Amino acid sequence: MRILRRIIVVITVGAILLISLFSPRLAFRVEEMRSGIRLYQVPVKEGDEFSLEFVHSVQRTPVKEVFRIERDGKIYLMETEYESFGAGLPTMPDEGAKSVVEGGKIRITGMRREIEPFLVAVSPVPGHVLTVGGKEVVLASLAKPGTGLRIRVVREPLVVPFLGRRYEWMRRQN
């Protein structure tokens, strides 16, 4: 009887481990748009937020956009902050959103705009930074200026990191 109980426990624990290792989890991924080469990846979960900061190409002023990852793995723009009105910058908030001017900045909050596909060109102007999980990633360190990037959330089995691929820089630093 003892041996049978031990076998049942070992099989049960093994099944739980296998199920958890192969269960999908969300991963935030930055890929080169044309080739699909993975440049950066980090695990995320529902409700996580990340930001993209850049210098506006026309106004030459800083812009910060905050995004949220929803349970469906989709990415939504939640708020934006900028210093001046101009071409390509919002003048009116989306329905249900609020616009606040303080400290010399315009901040629009309460947005929920789905971003699909999420495509970005690496800017030659310094300050093009992605912040995910508190870690800043300078986009020019991932690819040359002008390179098109796709940002997306994918589902991957938990076992992926144990097979040798780590959630860190995917491209060799020169």
Rg (the chain; Cα; Å): 21
H or E segment at 40? Answer: strand 38-43
Greatest mean pLDDT among 22-31, 87-96, 137-146: 137-146
Task: Tell me whether residue 172 is in a domain.
Answer: no
**Locus of tokens 């102007």:** 125
Q: Report pTM.
A: 0.76
Number of domains in the chain: 1
Residue 68 domain-assigned?
yes
123 in Cβ contact with 147 (< 8 Å): no
pLDDT tens per residue, range 121-135: 999 888 899 999 999
| Enclosing domain of residue 32 | 2-163
Sign of CA dihedral 74, 78, 82, 84: positive
Give residue 167's pLDDT band: very low, low, confident or very high (50, 70, 90): very low
3-state secondary structure of 148: strand
Averaged confidence pLDDT in the chain: 81
Q: Is residue 8 part of a domain?
A: yes
Q: Is residue 173 part of a domain?
A: no
Does 149 reside within a domain? Answer: yes
